Structure 1
């Protein structure tokens, strides 16, 4: 596996320094992997992260003199001040370590074997990340179809991030395509001889992802940039050969892979371990993502009255309230999207969320505002069908009777049309800006407000 017959090349000082910096930085960035990726290893990963939870805020206070405290807890953002300062810490430590390393080691002419080990670690780290993202896209953990609330949200109220999430979720085919490409890149990175091919696929995929993160302000810019940079790092040794072959139309010789060990048996064992690791991670991420989809998006996960329900008649205290657009009391719509939550939109467009408890056997429905015992509603219903529902009950002060009719979601243009190979020009409409669309033909009117 290793080319023992040829003399080892001598690296320049710049190459030696660059490798020392990259070695320390990449190890720091991708630790604690593989801890945390397997069962019973999360405790070690938490211990490692807790060290940075102490160091990063200290750097923010005493080195950077930030005017605010760095929060270590995150919800879903990977671009917090904590992450930027931590990357700065990695950079500073890698720079200092590479300088000290250069002073202590003046005799080494190259780090070929260490380079092989570094490539192993980062390609497995990035390969695992790609497999995780792939499983999330294949099984709706990322970019699920637009939910009922998204269908009712005016386009102008969308953030850039929400718009991208809805855009991707609206096209199951494209999401599957991206997920399969990420799965392909991840699998290839677990095969040493196909590392360059996997990195090239990763560059193509994550160039697009990083551009989307920048253009739509998704809070995973740091992480996606690092995956892209690692893919470039993995391609770098073969870059001159790729240029000669594809751009200069020159013949290139085959290149022997530097082995991790001197003994062939150990290299074979390492290869088997990599393949086993990739297989285990791929199966684990796919199973977890499938379980997530089954729990959140299967028909069994839906509430009994799933759908958007327009309010046809609303009686409060025995009095019919007319559908005035300025009225904040009369209901306009009721949305059953989640099993334990219900959303109610008033005529003035405002939304209120309530907890929901439905008893289908007893034909009762209770709901209320979180942490407010005075805002509870108790309703009964009798023999509802798939399109109509009548609720009768009280809010504790007044009797309420609500007649509901379910909206057909297919009247939304976003859901009305599937894929077509043939698109006749007569089916399209060109607006004042020269943009072609078919919304007026197939979408129909939006639900009345």
Structure 2
């Protein structure tokens, strides 16, 4: 991690084929361009605005926009960023190739870039790994998700539902990502760490591609970074795994000429590792707030102005279901199967539920609830109409997806 260190290698250095060296330098340049312009970089916004200007004024792509905070890393502009990065990497490689004809800095540049790449991938793996250890990235399925029909889910929703249904699988996934990241932090385990991380991330990338999760560009780059890290050991790995010949991975031992430099490198590495862990660890201690009266309330009887509105009437005034899935929000399914979402204010002390639209002083419904043995009764007003709504509540643990659990022995597949 310092340009003042020396590489202990054989004095017989082989000159590289110019074309292969150019391609190698393209890869090295691209690594820096991606790191400095990706979603974790403070320069991302500035760089994307520059690419956006190129799209509109040079490439005449007037429809391209910089869409912020969508959760998607696969926007049209993101693909243009990849194209621009490839072009800039080729230019940078050509400049280095012409300026360093004797290849004096090539070895050091490649070594340093591998260090940068493995620390970057380590940061990504630890960050995403920690997020899965405590269900941060894939929380348990909400009532709203459990009520959604499988056929109406998006492909991405299917993945989130699958992961949210099993905290054990999510935990192991996060643990594997964390292990891969930690292995990349040390030179002796970097090759194993890159292979390990690549195996884990290939599965992630495949899910992103085939379930339309808009992180395809980013996850693919993490896999490619792992390939770049192990590229220097490709021949040794080929000999060992394919030819079954004795082989040895290259270990470039680095020494500093002064003790204070060695101590500085050790301290710097410790600070970097501590930074990765500390910035990723808050999610380990996050606990989602409890949702008062959480559940799906199926309407058994809906009385408005002392007149029953049957669920089969298709009357938009009647309710089929009340869903309280998140704190501060509530939704209703009407008899005609249309849905409405409201701000839901629940006071468990007064046993009240207020459903509001956008205007805080104009509630859609003001209801009192009373819990009986097998049902919950809501009474109050919807607008100017008085209502009495008899419901049965379904909690998270009542859904088959949640209550089935794990079984060592299955005489028959439980698949219905």
Which residues in structure 2 correspond to 1:246-285 (within 5 Å)? Answer: 246-253=241-248, 255-259=250-254, 266-267=261-262, 269-285=264-280
Q: Say yes or no: does 1:215 pair with 2:210.
A: yes
Q: Say yes or no: does 1:329 pair with 2:323.
A: no
- Residues 239-272 of structure 1 show CA distances to partners (whole Å, capped at 9, x for unaligned) of 1111112221211245331538565763554244
Change (3 A) 1:2 1:108: closer
Q: Report what 2:367 is aligned to.
A: 379
Change (3 A) 1:387 1:188: farther
Q: Say yes or no: does 1:146 pair with 2:141.
A: yes
Distance 2:234 2:240 in 1: 10
Which residues in structure 2 correspond to 1:58-97 (within 5 Å)? Answer: 58-97=53-92
Q: Report what 1:307 is aligned to.
A: 295
Q: Say yes or no: does 1:422 pair with 2:409.
A: yes
Which residues in structure 2 correspond to 1:369-448 (within 5 Å)? Answer: 369-371=357-359, 374=362, 376-382=364-370, 384=371, 388-425=375-412, 428=413, 437-439=414-416
> SS state of the match for residue 324, structure 1?
helix
Which residues in structure 2 correspond to 1:199-210 (within 5 Å)? Answer: 199-210=194-205
Q: Say yes or no: does 1:344 pair with 2:339.
A: no
Q: Point out where structure 1 has 5 or more consecutive residues left out of the alignment.
A: 38-44, 429-436, 440-449
Distance 1:12 1:322 in 2: 80
> SS state of the match for residue 209, structure 2?
helix
Contact 2:239 2:246 in 1 (8 A): yes
Change (3 A) 1:72 1:55: farther
Query: How much does 1:88 deviate?
Result: 1.3
> SS state of the match for residue 61, structure 1?
helix
- Residues 349-376 of structure 1 show CA distances to partners (whole Å, capped at 9, x for unaligned) of 2221111122233333211223486552
Q: Point out where structure 2 has 5 or more consecutive residues left out of the alignment.
A: 1-5
Q: Say yes or no: does 1:51 pair with 2:46.
A: yes
> SS state of the match for residue 311, structure 2?
coil
Contact 1:191 1:275 in 2 (8 A): no
Q: Report what 1:27 is aligned to.
A: 32
Aligned to 1:14, which of 9, 16, 19? 19
Q: Say yes or no: does 1:290 pair with 2:295.
A: no
Query: How much does 1:166 deviate?
Result: 0.8
Structure 1 range deviating more: 354-363 or 334-343: 354-363
Contact 1:259 1:267 in 2 (8 A): no
- Residues 398-421 of structure 1 show CA distances to partners (whole Å, capped at 9, x for unaligned) of 111112221254453312311111
Query: How much does 1:12 deviate?
Result: 2.6
Change (3 A) 1:328 1:164: same
Q: Report what 2:343 is aligned to.
A: 355
Query: How much does 1:6 deviate?
Result: 3.6
Segments of 4+ in structure 1 off by > 4 A? 260-265, 371-375, 408-411
Change (3 A) 1:64 1:74: farther
Q: Report what 2:3 is aligned to.
A: none
Q: What is the TM-score of this pair, normalised by structure 1? A: 0.85
Q: What is the TM-score of this pair, normalised by structure 2? A: 0.91
Query: How much does 1:4 deviate?
Result: 4.9
- Residues 123-152 of structure 1 show CA distances to partners (whole Å, capped at 9, x for unaligned) of 111110111110111111212222111111
Distance 1:263 1:9 in 2: 30
Change (3 A) 1:20 1:318: same
Query: How much does 1:277 deviate?
Result: 1.8
Distance 2:368 2:121 in 1: 54
